[in-house]
Copies of this chain bind each other. A is one copy, B any other.
Amino acid sequence: MTRHLFMQELRELNQNVIRMGSLLEKSINDVIVALEKLDASLATEIIKNDDAIDDLEHQIERECIAMIAKQQPLATDLRKVTSIMKIVTDVERIADHCADISEYIIVLTKQSNVIAPKNLKEMVNVMKSMVIETIDSFVEVDGAKANQVIAKDDIVDNYFASISNELTEIMQGNKEAIPACVSYLMIIKYLERMADHATNIAEWIEYIITGTMIEGN
């Protein structure tokens, strides 16, 4: 009976994590559009929507703590609940960074000589695929998919380095473009951090499945 109730609550908890993942996916899709079109009103909307993700994070944390207190889960179940507590922190941080990037998008709409770095779109797409695959690997409890996410982190790091060089060259060639390039430098830093957080989540999914913590990050 207790076990039955626990499984019921765990399913509801999972659903809330998946709901949080869906909200995050929407934010990421929106931020990609806002970044490409430099759409200040969409960026403002993303910042507003961040509150719902924050609220859901706190709700899930409270649910986790209540479940541990009431049901006193052991072994795999406890591992799952404590991992979810960690995962939602990273999900929330990725969403935070969508809002952080949106603030720079709004700044960019007011700046002149805005030249988007060549590989920005590719960098965004790899990061996005990492987040989506992380959510999928959570839903499907798929360790192989989680490992794919971890492997992709280097690709994002390489994009960060090459775009950072590109922006340095643009600034050296065009003084007027410097303020906008600084905005893009911050944006690619956030993109790189988002990929790091996706990697953290993938490592927690590995932990749920295997019981072994991956060192790193």
Q: Which residues on B sit within 8 Å (CB–CB) of A178?
A: 168, 171-172, 178
A interface majority secondary structure: helix
Residue of B nearest to A77 (CB): B69
A216 to B92, CA, bound (A): 11
Let me know if A152 is at the binding interface, CB within 8 A: no
A39 to B150, CA, bound (A): 32
A164 to B216, CA, bound (A): 30
What is the CB-to-nearest-CB distance from A92 to chain B, in angstroms, rounded to a whole number? 8
- Are A65 and B85 in contact, CB atoms less than 8 angstroms apart? no
What is the CB-to-nearest-CB distance from A3 to chain B, in angstroms, rounded to a whole number? 15
Let me know if A48 is at the binding interface, CB within 8 A: no
Which residues of A from 65 to 81 have beta carbons under 8 Å from B? 65, 68-69, 72, 74-75, 78-79
Contact of A189 among B64, B78, B168, B189 (CB under 8 A): B189
Residue of B nearest to A167 (CB): B182
What is the CB-to-nearest-CB distance from A175 to chain B, in angstroms, rounded to a whole number? 5
- Are A168 and B179 in contact, CB atoms less than 8 angstroms apart? yes
- Are A54 and B182 in contact, CB atoms less than 8 angstroms apart? no
Question: What are 18 sample pairs from A and B whose C-beta atoms fall under 8 A apart?
Answer: A54-B216, A54-B217, A58-B213, A62-B213, A65-B78, A68-B78, A68-B82, A82-B85, A85-B85, A85-B86, A86-B89, A89-B89, A171-B175, A172-B175, A172-B178, A178-B178, A182-B185, A193-B193
Apart from A62-B213, A89-B89, A175-B175, 11 more pairs, CB < 8 Å: A58-B213, A58-B215, A61-B82, A61-B213, A68-B78, A68-B82, A69-B74, A69-B75, A82-B82, A171-B178, A189-B189
